[in-house]
Amino acid sequence: MDSNAEQGATFPNCLQLMETLPTGVLLHRAGVILYANREMRRIFGLENADSLENRPLLSYFQPESWKRIEQSIAGLKPDEPGGIPAELTVIQANDKEATLETVTTLLPSQEEATYCTIAKDISQRKQREDHIRYQANYDNLTGLPNRTLFLDRLQREVVRAQRQNHRVALMFIDLDRFKWVNDTLGHAAGDDLLRHVASRVQGCLRQSDTVARMGGDEFTAILPDMARGPFAERVASEVLAQLAAPFTLCGQEVLISGSIGIAIYPDDANTLDELLRNADIAMYRAKSAGRNGYCFFTPDMHAEAQERMELENDLHHVLERNELVLHYQPIVNLATRRVVGAESLLRWLHPKRGNISPAIFIPMAEEIGMISRITEWTIRTACTQAHQWRQQTEGSDFFVSVNLSCTRCRDLSAGEIIQNIFKDTGLPPSALVLEITENILSENAERAMSMLNHLVELGVNLWLDDFGTGHSSLSVLKRLPVNGIKIDRSFVPSSHSDPETIVLVEAILSLAKSLNRQVIGEGIESEEQAGFLRARNCLMGQGYLFMKPEPAASFASVLGKTFS
């Protein structure tokens, strides 16, 4: 009698039915297999029923998995409803694993305890659940924990630190110049960089630490069970060193850096939200201090951050509240002493804080995405005013200059906006000068050059501002389509100037003449300085010798006039 016939004698009228069931059926006694139906054999990865006869269950179930079910079914009674549910792991014939959802019952009317386990293969469902769980908790790009899992782990570490009187360090890591990589080499290179960064940062930490990607180019690290200072400082230094080492992207060597903020629980915060906020504040301080560095949170930073947040909120409404004004400083022909133009200088007259320096609010406007609106307002206002002044002075060739931020220089829509401003105001393009700095080539130079060439095609004049203060002014002078350069005020000689400064200025003037570039001297405060520049073919200048920057109403008094 074959094995199926024998089991059929023991369990009459059942086998034929069980062979057709879509779920697995397993009969077993004392840990030994008596029968497995066709679906159960498929789950095991076996076709031959004889190969299962009298085999121990542990040959096919993961030991720990089966041990749990044995303990559960030991006290089963034949009349107990429902059976014992369990999730078991099967080791298949090809050594792969499958997950089963099972219910085990005790069969009645048997001399020895005999069990029937009904099984459903839920491996695919588990894989989908695991995939969903992974997507919910891990970053697909880097494989690091995402913000959700990071916050969960940080919460656990904070609770553990409370119970065990430990400290937890939280590091916020922000990449410097990541946008430049994206803009220059493309987003695929940016993604590749993020994967490399994740690997390098992980290599700096202990197994008990957690590195997470919060989004974009922001990473975090949780350092539990530590003493304040030396350990976190050592880790931060190592992370910065790893980030400063060259990356190879698209066959090119790329250099970046990082800024790290560190906050310690409970030293710097009482709650999870405070810890997150303070680490972020410290990171911002590290970035504003020059980047490629780290900074520990200190209490005074919170007040500064609060003030900055309030200022940013106010800056969002600066146009609708009419708080921006332009002051104008005359640009003078040094030979005739006649006013030929004006530099427009942006001022923010805050109702509570007074006059806020552009050095503070312009970088802030770039960060919060306000720079485009503010620049458009500035150019439109300056062009409108210049057109009115030209009409008041018949036959005037008066021009106005506006400083153009590096961010706006790379915005290809700026050319179209400026063209519309000319149409709306009636100012000819030749009456507008846009002042730029050599920093426009530091990131996405190709995009910036495209924008500048478009402006030149419109007829706009370009001046290179702060000439002589950068690292590559001579080389960029050749590359940039500028028709004028402004000598920085620090290079305008006076009676106290050293001979080297005088020689340097003379060289700049000689170079500009040979390249057919206009030269404008800034910061002229004395007749001696004006005379020095005029004698060396510098035709235009501006400074307190002639007039300080004034509102439009005050500036109008010098239109068409000459300075004695």
pLDDT, one tens digit per residue, over 359-370 is: 889 988 988 889
**Is there a domain that residue 306 lies in?**
no
Tally of CA atoms within 13 A in the half-sphere of 396 that contains its CB: 21
Structural domain contains residue 304 = no
The CA-atom distances, in angstroms, between 199 and each of 148, 195, 208, 243 are 20, 6, 16, 11
What pLDDT score does 13 carry? Answer: 60
Do residues 378 and 291 both lie within one domain?
A: no
The predicted model scores a pTM of: 0.63
Domain residues for the domain of 400 are 312-557
For 535-559, what is each residue's pLDDT tens digit?
888 889 999 999 999 999 999 999 8
Q: 292 by DSSP, 3-state: which? A: coil
Positions in the chain whose pLDDT score sits under 50: 1-9, 472
Residue that terminates a domain, selected from 102, 128, 154: 128
What letter would DSSP give residue 357? P
Number of domains present in the structure of the chain? 3
The answer to whether residues 247 and 376 belong to one domain is no
Instruction: With beta carbons less than 8 A apart as the criterion, state whether 260 and 279 touch.
Output: no
Q: Are 138 and 52 in contact (CB under 8 A)?
A: no
Of 110, 128, 146, the domain-final residue: 128
**Centroid of chain to Cα 365:** 17
Confidence (pLDDT) at 524: 93
Same domain, 120 and 160: no
Long-range CB contacts (< 8 A, 24+ apart) of 184-191?
A: 184/443, 184/444, 184/446, 185/249, 185/250, 185/252, 185/254, 186/250, 189/249, 189/250, 189/254, 191/141
What CATH number is attached to the domain comprising 487?
Answer: 3.20.20.450
Residues 326 and 403 in one domain: yes
Identify whether residues 412 and 455 lie together within a single domain: yes
Q: Are 176 and 287 in contact (CB under 8 A)?
A: yes
Q: What is the pLDDT, as a whole number, of residue 501?
A: 78
Tell me: do 75 and 150 sit in the same domain.
Answer: no
**pLDDT at residue number 448:** 78
Residues 290 and 335 in one domain: no
Q: Are residues 354 and 475 in the same domain?
A: yes
- Residue 50 has a pLDDT of 63
Closest CA to 258 of 240, 281, 279: 240
pLDDT of residue 414: 76
Same domain, 456 and 332: yes
